[in-house]
Amino acid sequence: MAESKPTPYYITTAISYPNGRPHIGHAYEAIAADVIARFQRLRGRKVRFQTGTDEHGLKMARKAHEQSRTPRDLADEMSNYFLAMCDALNVKYDRFIRTVEEDHHRASQAIWERMQAAGDLYLDRYEGWYSIRDEAYYDESELIEGEGGAKLSPHQTPVEWTVEESWFFRLSKYQDRLLDLLKTPGFLEPASRANEMIAFVEQGLRDLSVSRTSFDWGVKVPGSDNHVMYVWVDALTNYLTGLGFPADTEDMRNFWPADLHLIGKDIVRFHTIYWPAFLMSADLPLPKKVYGHGFLLARGGEKMSKSAGNVVDPLAMAEAFGVDAMRYFLLREVAFGQDGSYSPEAIVSRANAELANSFGNLAQRTLSMIAKNMDGELEAFETNEADDALLSNVADACRNVLPTEFENLAFSTGIEAWMRAVYACNQYIDEQAPWTLKKTNSERMKAVLYTLFMALRDLAIAIQPVVPEKSADLLNQLGVSQSERAYSHLLDTQWYLRLVDTGFTVSKPTPIFPRLELPEEVEG
């Protein structure tokens, strides 16, 4: 029976609000999404990866006014910083979407018209609390008290009493269907986020104000030009815009519904209550999974924010530590889904201990000895029990454990299994001592080094999603062709003999992970 063809895979990040330059928290989400996209491509799936910027709303309009410029001028400048961040961090998106683009306005108006045709929109008067910083409405019961008795949102952002004519969406109509969705295993993860949203919906949903008249920076409501859409109606629709909606495009047929919306935990409500309700109203399929990851916290355990002044420039970090070392740290250090923290000391310590001293040194020692002691020549060889045990250990980590954990978004667990295989290789080389065998048993020396050569290939292929540049450097030095780097090739047991037949020789290696030095403080 022929194997089924891998299904297409669509992953999105939340689109970033560009009222300030990107910080390391934005980089964390973009890198994680890129790792997932690369991983799925390596598994043979056709992947669509979308990210971008959310440029409408009162917050952008007010900031532009403060700077005596147009909102579009501000949006153009700030969006470019996020685009530059993705490019600098080797985030290989298929589309970087901007909500100011014409096709996005068309898509947003199309989903509005579908909701209107379903009878789910009506005109009324809104009176209530609104957080400009969150671009969110809050019920009185959700507010907390700040200094001097000031009312704050649950995220401790200022709220203001708002009164204006508004279009409302019949959110309450979808309460039961949303509860069923939220209780569906795997739809919203981690499970703690699902429990929070279930509790919120069970308290009862009220209809949602979905337009504004107090400013005009946004997508115009069809037939009501004095209204602009609530920024979250507009922003969430970007996931459809990138596929060509409302047209019946090949991308829409192949990639919708999305396989994964990867978002921060603070915007789970918008993605798992409002967004599914809009899609239900518009009679469109629902996303398969929403994952609300944790925050990357600044020193002292505080959430990074522009207002707190504790943001860190991810480009400065990448320049200080190297892009791949930074990517590795972010995925290795923190259990995905939980909050985590970072420091320059922690990045240097982790990168040196695992990438430089363990993996990099293993590659350097192995390839150097092959180049020096065998003139770089590869030969067929006989393995013994110790060799077979090592190769089996490495194969299990690279072919089974890491892919399984990455499929479940348990990156740190998958990388830990990979590191155990690296440690096993280093223990093997120390126990076999090929530098001693050189004097006593040259054939056995060759078998040890060729065994390590084979293990390095598996290790380099497996870790590609996390450290793509350095993995490519090592695979080049191992003579592994571009066409043989997908995960399916980890099952190929004859690759080494084919490489021998080509006459490939190992050159003096170039270090892939030099040790890092602690730089001066990386500034925001």
Backbone torsions φ then ψ of 83, nearest 5 degrees: -60, -45
* This prediction's pTM: 0.92
* Number of other residues whose CB lies within 10 A of the CB of residue 163: 10
Q: Is the pLDDT of residue 524 over 80?
A: no
pLDDT (tens digit per residue) in 68-123: 999 999 999 999 999 999 999 999 999 999 999 999 999 999 999 999 999 999 99
Residue 333 lies in a domain: no
Quick one: pLDDT at residue 523?
A: 47
Residue 331 lies in a domain: no
Based on the domain organization, do 266 and 121 belong to the same domain? yes
At residue 367, the 3 state secondary structure works out as helix
Measured distance CA(440)–CA(438) in Å, rounded: 6
Based on the domain organization, do 381 and 280 belong to the same domain? no
CB distance 522 to 320 below 8 Å: yes
- How much of the chain is helix, strand and coil, in % rounded to 5? 50, 15, 35
Q: How many domains does the chain have?
A: 2
Q: Supply 10's token pair.
A: 């669509």
Q: Is the pLDDT of residue 301 over 70?
A: no
Q: For residue 311, what pLDDT band results from cuts at 50, 70 and 90?
A: low
At residue 68, the 3 state secondary structure works out as coil
Residue 335 lies in a domain: no
User: What share of the chain has pLDDT > 90, as a percent?
Assistant: 83
Residue 329 lies in a domain: no
Summarize the confidence of residues 281-287 as an average pLDDT.
Answer: 98
Q: Which of 257, 287, 311 is at the close of a domain?
A: 311
Based on the domain organization, do 300 and 446 belong to the same domain? no
Summarize the confidence of residues 467-480 as an average pLDDT.
Answer: 98
Tell me, what amino acid is at 454? M
pLDDT (tens digit per residue) in 320-358: 999 999 999 999 998 999 999 888 899 999 999 999 999
Based on the domain organization, do 381 and 486 belong to the same domain? yes
Backbone torsions φ then ψ of 260, nearest 5 degrees: -155, 125
DSSP 132: T
Q: Which of 311, 341, 359 is at the close of a domain?
A: 311
Residue 322 lies in a domain: no
Based on the domain organization, do 301 and 210 belong to the same domain? yes
Q: For residue 262, what pLDDT band results from cuts at 50, 70 and 90?
A: very high
Q: Is the pLDDT of residue 5 over 90?
A: no
Edge-to-edge strand list for the sheet holding 160-169: 136-138, 121-131, 160-169, 208-209
Residue 320 lies in a domain: no
Residue 199 lies in a domain: yes
CATH number of the domain within which 253 lies: 3.40.50.620
Based on the domain organization, do 200 and 251 belong to the same domain? yes
Based on the domain organization, do 357 and 292 belong to the same domain? no
What is the dihedral sign for C-alpha 202, 204, 210, 212? negative
Domain that holds residue 377: 350-502
Based on the domain organization, do 383 and 272 belong to the same domain? no
CATH number of the domain within which 429 lies: 1.10.730.10
Q: Is the pLDDT of residue 308 over 60?
A: no
pLDDT (tens digit per residue) in 399-420: 999 999 999 999 999 999 999 9
Based on the domain organization, do 71 and 202 belong to the same domain? yes
Q: Is the pLDDT of residue 3 over 60?
A: no
Summarize the confidence of residues 119-139 as an average pLDDT.
Answer: 85
Q: Which of 251, 282, 311 is at the close of a domain?
A: 311
pLDDT (tens digit per residue) in 344-394: 899 999 999 999 999 999 999 999 999 999 999 999 999 999 999 999 999
Residue 405 lies in a domain: yes
Q: Supply 361's token pair.
A: 């040194």
Based on the domain organization, do 233 and 102 belong to the same domain? yes
Quick one: pLDDT at residue 343?
A: 87
Quick one: pLDDT at residue 153?
A: 87
User: What share of the chain has pLDDT > 70, as a percent?
Assistant: 96
Based on the domain organization, do 260 and 169 belong to the same domain? yes
Measured distance CA(279)–CA(335) in Å, rounded: 31
